[in-house]
Structure 1
Amino acid sequence: MNDAASPSAPELAGTRGATGYSFDPIAIVRSPFGDPFGIPRQAQLARVRARVELDPRRITAESLRGLEGVTHIWLLWVFDRSDPAHSHPTVRPPRLGGNTRIGVLATRSPQRPNPIGMSAVRLVGIEGLVLHVEGCDLADGTPVLDIKPYVASCDRIDDSAVAWLADTDESRLEVVWTPAARAQLGARPDAEALALQLDEILALDPRPSYRKGDGDRGYAMVFAGREVRFRVEGTRLLITAFDPHHADEPTTGG
């Protein structure tokens, strides 16, 4: 890195003005994830469906011309539940067991200097100013700043690498439903689709790294308006309940 070529802080400030940049969302995500706990660490790890509801004050149908021929899109969005004031130069990635520090700019941690995220999702349909997507990794209500087409010839880099990820564990848990939880799920018309999505999500083991030794501890995540309770026994994750969720009741994620 050539430090001499890097712009100084006053020079950077001069390009944006004293008040910095200001962006207004163009859309809001409507997803089954009621809170951040349980959301896959990146898009496309589970076939979770969501809606991207575009703001008609900012976006018109004309803006979507040609999008019907696009299979995947990038969503640029805001970590609206993270406080930039809590950003640190280094973070402890869960995939390294939560014990090793890595520079924040070498990770996708939500605790960033500017809380901006990006996700590549499958575009499965367009209905007016609503985009239906699959492979979502965003909480319900997430603000979207921009949408761009995923262009494989430009966005895919075959020889890319992230060295600190090379030896991380990619194994998945076996997900098992108790008869009681399956009975609660079975009352819904979308039961099979929800079961498939939850199986894929929970197989990724959403527990915090520092809790993975607590074999008897129970957890809960909010999904599709229900409280999904589970515990882990060795390499099995056991779903024990699929209860109605009450917003005033905190879930157990940490």
Structure 2
Amino acid sequence: MFTQTIEAVGICKTPYQQKFGIPRQPGLVEAKGQIRLTGEYNHLDFVQGIEQYSHLWLLFSFHENLEQGFKAKVRPPRLGGNEKIGVFATRSTFRPNGIGQSVVKLEGVRFESNQVIIDISGMDLVDGTPILDIKPYLPFSDSLPDAQAGMAQESPELCEIVFNDSCLTQLSQMYKGEELKRLIEQVLAQDPRPAYKKNKPDDKQYFITLDKFNIGWQVIEQCIVVFSIELIKA
């Protein structure tokens, strides 16, 4: 059997401190992050010419899932989390070899304190994700307008997001409060709850960690209401 040792070329830094709440696909949320190249790959030679591209493909490891292994069949959220289909017919994070692929927007490249930093946005990766490879996105070959996507042909429906008065006041007084508000709105609009919870009565209070904040929210009459924003103390 063919075997190969794969070494990460970098680490992705994102606002997503936990798997819960991460967008299920890239490009759905305009979150900003960065890739920090590591080891021998932390050299500007590896990224020379990369800024001529607007988007990049990232190959990465689902490192937090590896110990749990995989199954031949999984329950995709698009089918309500009730019906099983083959793992190769989905983008499940529990898969052989634990390799994922996402397209992200390239925001720029920096070299600071002997560190190559690739600024990106639109990623769907948990903070600390190992990056296995980076490739340019080529519109003429990678964009296929006539492609069929079965159960995932259409983009997901978005939920209405409402902030209570105290959260709105807090955001208005916060440095980069509008940026945080937009991130919260875009993440929660995807409705991060398990698929089987949707379209059912649900009075549970949920919490999600974004960057340095713990966000409290719940579903009230088909709207997602943000009721608390707390800074996580170091």
Q: TM-score range with shorter-chain normalisation? A: over 0.9
| Letter in structure 2 aligned against 1:25 | A
Residue of structure 2 equivalent to 1:203: 189
Q: CA deviation at 1:56?
A: 4.4
Distance 1:181 1:84 in 2: 38
Deviating beyond 4 angstroms after TM superposition, the runs of 4 or more aligned structure 1 residues are none
Normalised to the residue count of structure 2, the TM-score between the two structures is 0.92
Residue of structure 2 equivalent to 1:245: 232
Cα gap change, 1:162/1:123 in structure 2, threshold over 3 Å: closer, same or farther? same
Task: Pick which of 41-50 and 186-195 moved more.
Answer: 186-195
Q: How does 1:47-86 map to 2 (within 5 A)?
A: 47-83=30-66, 85-86=68-69
Q: CA deviation at 1:172?
A: 1.1
* 8 Å CA contact 1:228, 1:243 repeated in 2: yes
| Letter in structure 2 aligned against 1:119 | S
Q: CA deviation at 1:169?
A: 7.8
Instruction: Find out whether 1:118 has 2:101 as its counterpart.
Output: yes
Q: Secondary structure of the residue that 1:114 maps to in structure 2?
A: helix
Q: Secondary structure of the residue that 2:41 maps to in structure 1?
A: coil
Q: Secondary structure of the residue that 2:209 maps to in structure 1?
A: strand
Distance 2:36 2:122 in 1: 16
Residue of structure 2 equivalent to 1:231: 218
Residue of structure 2 equivalent to 1:251: none
| Letter in structure 1 aligned against 2:218 | R
Distance 1:188 1:78 in 2: 34
Normalised to the residue count of structure 1, the TM-score between the two structures is 0.85
Q: 2:15 aligns with which of 32, 37, 40?
A: 32
Cα gap change, 1:113/1:246 in structure 2, threshold over 3 Å: closer, same or farther? farther
Q: Secondary structure of the residue that 2:185 maps to in structure 1?
A: helix
Instruction: Find out whether 1:173 has 2:156 as its counterpart.
Output: no
Q: Which has the larger radius of gyration?
A: 1
Q: How does 1:44-193 map to 2 (within 5 A)?
A: 44-83=27-66, 85-128=68-111, 129-166=116-153, 170-193=156-179
Gaps in structure 2 of 5+ consecutive residues? none
Q: Secondary structure of the residue that 1:57 maps to in structure 2?
A: helix
Gaps in structure 1 of 5+ consecutive residues? 1-12, 248-254
* 8 Å CA contact 1:95, 1:169 repeated in 2: no
Q: CA deviation at 1:186?
A: 3.3
* 8 Å CA contact 1:84, 1:113 repeated in 2: no
* 8 Å CA contact 1:84, 1:114 repeated in 2: no
Q: CA deviation at 1:85?
A: 4.5
* 8 Å CA contact 1:52, 1:133 repeated in 2: yes
Q: Secondary structure of the residue that 2:190 maps to in structure 1?
A: coil
Distance 2:104 2:227 in 1: 30
Residue of structure 2 equivalent to 1:216: 203
Distance 2:38 2:165 in 1: 43
Distance 1:214 1:110 in 2: 28
The size of the alignment, in residue pairs, is 229
| Letter in structure 1 aligned against 2:76 | P
Q: Secondary structure of the residue that 1:119 maps to in structure 2?
A: strand
Distance 1:183 1:116 in 2: 42
Q: Deviations over 1:130-168 (max 9, x none)?
A: 0111101111100000000000111112221122335x7
* 8 Å CA contact 1:215, 1:234 repeated in 2: no
* 8 Å CA contact 2:78, 2:151 repeated in 1: no
RMSD after superposition: 1.7
Distance 2:221 2:10 in 1: 41
* 8 Å CA contact 2:14, 2:34 repeated in 1: yes
| Letter in structure 2 aligned against 1:172 | L
Q: Secondary structure of the residue that 1:52 maps to in structure 2?
A: strand
